[in-house]
Amino acid sequence: MPVMPGAMLGVLGGGQLGRMFVQAAQQMGYQVTVLDPDRGSPAGRVADVFICAGYDDQAALEKIGQQCAAVTTEFENIPAESLRMLTKSCVVSPDANSVSIAQNRVREKQFLVDSGFSVASFAVISQPQDIVTQDVAQFLPGILKVSQFGYDGKGQVKVATVTELQAAYEQLDHAVCVLEKFMPLKCEISVVVARGGNGEIATFPVSENQHVNGILDVSIVPARISPLLADKAQAIACQAAEKLNYQGVLCVEFFVLQDDALLINEIAPRPHNSGHYSIDACVTSQFEQQVRTLCGLPLGSTTQLNPAVMINLLGDVWQNGDPDWNQVLRYPSAKLHLYGKTEARPGRKMGHFTVLGSDIATVLNDALHIKERLNSN
Helix axes 286-295, 16-27, angle to 10 degrees: 70
The CATH T-level fold of domain 8-92 is Rossmann fold (3.40.50)
CA distance 185 to 359: 25
CB-based burial label for 28 (10 Å; 0-12, 13-18, 19+): middle
Strands 70-73 and 91-92: parallel
CA distance 99 to 93: 10
Strands 122-125 and 142-146: unpaired
For domain 121-181, the CATH class is: alpha beta
Output the pLDDT for position 135.
85
Output the pLDDT for position 166.
94
Q: Which candidate, 52, 73, 41, places its Cα nearest to that of 339?
A: 41
Taking only the tens of pLDDT, the chain with its 377 residues reads: 899 999 999 999 999 999 999 999 999 999 999 999 999 999 999 999 999 999 999 999 999 999 999 999 999 889 999 999 999 999 999 999 999 999 999 999 999 999 999 999 999 999 999 998 888 989 999 999 999 876 666 789 999 999 999 999 999 999 999 999 999 999 999 999 999 989 999 999 999 999 998 899 999 999 999 999 999 999 999 999 999 999 999 999 999 999 999 999 999 999 999 999 999 999 999 999 999 999 999 999 999 999 999 999 999 999 989 999 999 999 999 999 999 998 999 999 999 999 999 999 999 999 999 999 998 87
Task: Please answer whether residues 352 and 338 qualify as being in contact, where contact means their C-beta atoms are separated by less than 8 angstroms.
Answer: no
Q: Which amino acid is at 278?
A: S
Output the pLDDT for position 150.
64
Triad 188, 190, 192: Cα angle to 5°: 175
182-231 pLDDT per residue, tens: 999 999 999 999 999 899 999 999 999 999 988 999 999 999 999 999 99
CA distance 192 to 177: 26
273-314 pLDDT per residue, tens: 999 999 999 999 999 999 999 999 999 999 999 999 999 999
Strands 185-195 and 215-221: unpaired
Q: Which amino acid is at 103?
A: Q
The CATH T-level fold of domain 185-376 is D-amino Acid Aminotransferase; Chain A, domain 1 (3.30.470)
Task: Please answer whether residues 289 and 299 qualify as being in contact, where contact means their C-beta atoms are separated by less than 8 angstroms.
Answer: yes
Q: How far is CA 105 from CA 154, 159, 268, in A?
A: 14, 18, 11
| Phi, psi (degrees; rounded to nearest 5) at 138 | -70, -15
Output the pLDDT for position 149.
72
Output the pLDDT for position 153.
61
Task: Please answer whether residues 178 and 170 qualify as being in contact, where contact means their C-beta atoms are separated by less than 8 angstroms.
Answer: no
Non-local (6+) Cβ contacts of 242 within 8 A are 195, 199, 201
Strands 8-12 and 70-73: parallel
Q: How far is CA 99 from CA 12, 82, 148, 215, 313, in A?
A: 12, 11, 12, 21, 27
CA distance 25 to 6: 10
Output the pLDDT for position 152.
60
Output the pLDDT for position 261.
97
Domain ranges (residues) in the chain: 8-92, 121-181, 185-376
| Phi, psi (degrees; rounded to nearest 5) at 208 | -95, 125
